[in-house]
Homo-oligomer: A and B are copies of this chain.
Amino acid sequence: MPRKLHLNAFLMNTGHHEASWRLPESDPYAHVSLEHYVRLARTAERGTFDSLFLADGPQLWNTVAQRPAGALEPLTLLTALATATEHIGLIATASTSYNSPYNLARRFASLDIISGGRAGWNVVTTAGAEAARNFGLDAEPAHAERYARAAEFLDVALKLWDSWEDDTIVADKAAGVWGDDARIHPPRHRGTYFSVEGALNVPRGPQGYPLLVQAGSSEDGKRFAARYAEAVFTAQQTLADAQDFYADLKARTAAAGRDPEHLKVLPGIVPVIGSTEAEALARERQLEDHIVHEHGVRRLEELLRLGPGSLVLDAELPDGLPSEDAIEGAKSRYTLIVELARRERLTVRQLIGRLGGGRGHLTFAGTPEQVADTIERWFSLGAADGFNIMPPVLPSGLDTFVDHVVPILRARGLLRTEYGPRQTLRERYGLPRPANQHLTGVPALV
């Protein structure tokens, strides 16, 4: 069977462009509208996407003036979407820094059961002091420490998901024996960050573990991905960078003793689509015209660790910015943005325009053919196993992608034309169901 694209729909209220909510068509209450998300999920399913995805962080940003703020809690929203869809995978972001393994492992197992094996977890360590201060900490934990905690969190979660063997329930009504206690394996974990004694209180789900996704591209992030991730979301600005990242991550996965085919790399793209190139560019300009630059300047200053007033709108970035090593949160995104500005000699205004669309992801204006060409080129030249589709405006941008780009991808044999029989999310991504570590003796992904 020829290799097929994996498509993930990254859903975010009125769209990924920060000014999208200002368009006449946009619902400023979309972020709390179940109907809005049901419509998007069904559109993605019409486009035979593998999955849809919700980003998240447990904090409210410092201003609600600029753009829609806050979001329904992702696992809650995805549970509601599970009942409104049949085939599509459901990937929620959840933090290893601000959850306990027992509760979170149980919630993902519950979603996996309710959705018939369609749950995925985008594992994040959560940058930023705002989040830390909502959970009893005064400052953000150091980057390396967050990743050390994440690794232990994953080890505990795998133990919890394996704490019931698949055939624990014997249901012998005549003998009055419901389950076989010998097939329950309490983690009895005592580690640096967590002590978790008992077995999970929900049976092993259809997928064994939810699909494990990761999205940080720092050194720590890549090391973590090679060990635990089965799909990786990444922001890449050029084909060459994407190819390097792809090759590096596949090599690291093999070096970790895993099959590199069992880690799928999905760069994000923000496709601004028009029926002609001119129409696409006009659409892009319309969005840029709605950006409020004061907000953008202040946000960029925060990202670059600069005080208010440090940046000049029509000048380039100043010299002497700190190196990635000095940054404790979102390291790889920091480097990407600084390199983008330097490489293309962008003014602050231009940089804000570029970031406004996709916060560092590849923003691309063109016709459906041009979008499909880019996807095919990256896919065939070793830069991607699929894409994280980030429509600049929702729902219209997803409608356009599904109605006009998906048919081209299907005609080229790159994308399935229908789902066929029900499959788990792992099966859609070509991944095995993990064996139970208590039967294999090996607590590992493969």
Contact = CB atoms under 8 A, between A and B. Distances in A.
Contacts of A66: 176, 178
Identical copies of this chain, number: 2
A178 B67 contact: yes
A102 B58 CA distance: 8
A374 interface: no
Contact of A103 (B32, B98, B171): B98
A65 B103 contact: no
A76 B201 CA distance: 14
A228 B163 CA distance: 37
A77 interface: yes
Interface size class of A (residues with CB under 8 A): 35 or more
A72 B184 contact: no
**Interface SS of chain A: helix, strand, loop or mixed?**
loop
Contacts of A63: 179, 181
Contacts of A80: 79-80, 82-83, 114
Contact of A71 (B59, B100, B194, B201): B201
Contacts of A69: 178-179, 201
B72 A202 contact: yes
Interface stretch (A45-53, A129-137, A355-363): A129-137
A70 B32 contact: no
Nearest to A84: B83
A21 B83 contact: no
A82 B60 CA distance: 26
A292 interface: yes
Contact of A196 (B32, B114, B134, B163): B134
A115 to B, nearest CB: 9
Contacts of A134: 102, 196-198
Contacts of A58: 102-103, 106, 201
A199 interface: yes
Contacts of A34: 83, 113-114
29 contacts: A22-B176, A23-B173, A28-B173, A32-B203, A34-B113, A58-B201, A59-B198, A64-B178, A65-B177, A65-B178, A69-B201, A70-B202, A70-B203, A72-B110, A73-B103, A73-B202, A75-B76, A76-B76, A76-B111, A79-B80, A80-B82, A80-B83, A83-B84, A98-B103, A99-B103, A135-B196, A136-B194, A136-B196, A137-B195
Given A65-B180, A69-B201, A134-B196, 8 more contacts: A23-B173, A26-B173, A64-B179, A64-B180, A66-B178, A70-B202, A72-B114, A80-B80
